[in-house]
Amino acid sequence: MLVLAAILASLVLIAAGCGGDDDDNGGGGASDSSGAEGTGADTGEATGGGGGGATKLKLTADPGGGLTFDKTELTAKPGKVTITMDNPSDVPHAVEVEGNGVEEETKTLTNGTADVTVNLKAGKYEFYCPVDGHKEAGMKGTLTVG
Ligand SMILES: [Cu+2]
């Protein structure tokens, strides 16, 4: 009987040991959560990297309400190009980028900034204000990518 009791006691200890292992597995689960956080950090890095690789350009509309941008020539490297339009006037403006199958524009606004991001290959593109009559009045220019 004493031997049997000793065996039973051993089994209980083994069972307890298994329980301990389960707890360790729980700890492993916690490690997985850390891994998920790591993935989140990676996404942040990827976003930061994309921002670093993108060309950022700025165009400012005439503060006095004239139909002009402050630049008629823009240059960028191939890839993502973000154009931020600053319109400090009460006249609504936007910026549209067009060429080589690309046609994207910012929203039209007054007294504020808007931006548009396009993925461009090397080549020449046109940028202009799509508001009626503004392009014809001179709110246009050339964006050279290369
Ligand atoms: Cu305009």
Consecutive 10-residue averages of pLDDT for the chain (146 residues): 58 51 44 40 38 84 98 97 98 98 98 98 98 98 98
Residue 54 is predicted with a pLDDT of: 86
Query: Would you call 45 helix, strand, or coil by DSSP?
Result: helix
| Residue with token string 């020539």 | 73
Q: How far is CA 25 from the centre of its chain?
A: 37
Residue 46 is predicted with a pLDDT of: 38
Residue 59 is predicted with a pLDDT of: 98
Residue 1 is predicted with a pLDDT of: 57
* Ligand 1 centroid – CA 132 distance (Å): 8
* Ligand 1 centroid – CA 124 distance (Å): 21
* Ligand 1 centroid – CA 46 distance (Å): 35
pTM (two decimals): 0.65
| Residue with token string 């009460």 | 90
Q: In 3D, which of 125, 128, 121 has the Cα closest to residue 85?
A: 128
* Ligand 1 centroid – CA 81 distance (Å): 21
